[in-house]
Amino acid sequence: MGYRGKVEEQARARELRAEGRTLAEIAGALGVSKSSVSLWVRDVEFTPSPRRTGAQRRPHPAHEAKLRQIEEMDADGVACLGALSEDAFLVAGVALYAGEGSKRDGAVKFANTDPRMIAFFCSWLRRFFDIDESRLRAKVYLHEGLDLDAAEEHWSGVTDIPRPQFAKAYRPEARSGLRHTKHEFGCAYVFYACAPTHRRIMGLVRALLTSGAIPG
């Protein structure tokens, strides 16, 4: 779906998982989100490492049980959904836009910090609507002190939108105590200034949310 990820970090994450490291430990070591780690290592067999002392003590058994259950549910989710059909993909995108997209008339706008959500939206938009790629735009919301070039390269890879089509980034001043590793690439905004496309999407959203579209 356009997201190419960080090959070296994915490989290192898999090595650490095979060594018995938890998702939280791997995320902290690599400076990425735990959700990204979970996606990268979901097929790596996990055996908790032996109890450690001091700052690297083994997590509480209840915490480990929670992590195992989350991984099992992730696997169940993949098994349940499988590969989306064309109709399911359309409806999933409509539901995503209903929750996260802009409802104001005039332009399609979607923003998120999760690259998987952004990549899904971009793939959906291109699949079901006649998009003029030269008019597709992106913008990064990134706190001061974080690497804007790296962030724009990241989101350009996720969206397949060339950097020359990125609008000027919004750089708010970093607040005291901000965890700079939490969203190192900030938030991406994807927008397409086309009123007919937005109205068609909103028509689908309204159809989805009407009682007639909900199974009895």
pLDDT value of position 82: 84
Six token digits for residue 56: 């690297």
From CA 138, how far away is CA 122, in angstroms rounded?
Answer: 11
Range list of H helices, 19-107: 23-30, 34-40, 61-81, 86-100
Note whether residue 1 is domain-resident. Answer: no
Choose one of 25, 60, 81: the last residue of a domain. 81
Note whether residue 201 is domain-resident. Answer: yes
Q: Is the dihedral of CA 23, 26, 28, 30 positive or negative?
A: negative
pTM as predicted: 0.69
Q: In what order do the strands lie in the sheet with 187-192?
A: 108-112, 187-192, 136-141
Q: In the chain, which stretches have pLDDT less than 70?
A: 1-6, 48-59, 174-182, 216
Whether 77 and 92 map to the same domain: the answer is no
Whether 208 and 108 map to the same domain: the answer is yes
pLDDT value of position 53: 46
Over residues 160-174, the pLDDT tens digits come to 999 999 999 999 876
Domain that holds residue 59: 7-81
Whether 90 and 167 map to the same domain: the answer is yes
23-30 and 7-18 helices cross at what angle (nearest 10)?
A: 140
Number of domains in the chain: 2
From CA 23, how far away is CA 38, in angstroms rounded?
Answer: 7
Taking residue 118's Cβ as centre, other Cβ atoms within 10 Å add up to: 25
Whether 97 and 201 map to the same domain: the answer is yes
Whether 91 and 161 map to the same domain: the answer is yes
Selection from 108, 82, 115 nearest residue 204 by Cα: 108
Whether 138 and 151 map to the same domain: the answer is yes
pLDDT value of position 58: 66
Over residues 9-55, the pLDDT tens digits come to 888 888 888 888 888 888 888 888 888 888 888 888 777 665 554 45
Choose one of 34, 61, 81: the last residue of a domain. 81
Token pair 């998702």 is found at 23
Mapping DSSP to helix (H, G, I), strand (E, B) and coil, where does residue 123 land? helix
CATH of the domain at 186: 3.30.1330
Whether 127 and 203 map to the same domain: the answer is yes
Whether 26 and 96 map to the same domain: the answer is no
Q: Which are the contacts of 69, defined by CB distance < 8 A and separation ≥ 6?
A: none
Note whether residue 2 is domain-resident. Answer: no
Whether 35 and 116 map to the same domain: the answer is no
Choose one of 52, 81, 110: the last residue of a domain. 81
Whether 77 and 107 map to the same domain: the answer is no
Mean of the per-residue pLDDT values for the chain? 86
